[in-house]
Amino acid sequence: MDFAGKTALVTGAAGAIGKAIAAGFIVGGARVFITDLKQDGVDAAVAEIGGACQGLAADVTKEEQVKAAVGAAAAAFDGRIDILVNVAGIVGQGKVEDLSEAEWDAVYAVNCKGTFFFTKYVVPVMKAKKFGRIINFSSKSGKTGSALLSHYSAAKAAIIGFTQALAYELADFGINVNCLCPGITENTGVWSTVSAGYVKELNLPREEIVKKFTAKVPLKRLAKVEDIVAVTLFLASPGGDYMTGQAINVTGGREMH
């Protein structure tokens, strides 16, 4: 896809999905600014992605750090941020009666507050140019809750509501807002954490856990990082111009609503 002349800000870009999305924009000719929690992770991702990629660490739960990262991105791109992809997120796992307040708050802070903060500071930049594409990350678990993931499911459902509200709020400014609801995605930190938790809670080997999940998927496989990247780039491209307020399933048919 052709993103020549466009600029993109991608959060959580030291992780597998965020890094691959940033790389996809670079291949399409965009200039890209990335963030993640630690500067060494950001520097390593910038080096791996190559091209017109820059980055700065930011804790997405800290408003001043987010403000600084957005300011640095805008300064690097001549005052433009055309595309914001809010990938940054964490997952937690456990029975609801065992979850602590701190665990609940941490999942909400990274997934919801982080998405809010970056959106808050990027929107004025987009409004000034009367153009923007915001792509948030929800989850299959935000559509249909998942056992042992009650706080994560609740946070990801909140992202869908946030996305829909912004689609109405920002439409007159040429800003489209959508979100992705991926299913379980191979070779990601989320799947590593979740699968380890299910191995422990269900007392089954990892291979059996994978079989249990893929058996529920009509296409009979887990998502690949490339599947998620492809839909993200489409939403950011001219092909997504008439789409806003959508929560798009990328689940191999596991979710159909």
Query: How many angstroms separate the CA atoms of 53 and 156, rounded?
Result: 28
Q: Which amino acid makes up residue 240?
A: G
Task: Please state whether beta strands 83-86 and 7-10 pair in parallel, antiparallel, or not at all (unpaired).
Answer: parallel
Question: Which of 108, 121, 152, 198 is labelled catalytic?
Answer: 152
Active-site residue 168, yes or no?
Answer: no
Helix (H) or strand (E) holding 98: none
83-86 sheet: strands from edge to edge: 53-55, 31-34, 7-10, 83-86, 132-137, 175-182, 247-250
By annotation, the residues acting in catalysis are 152
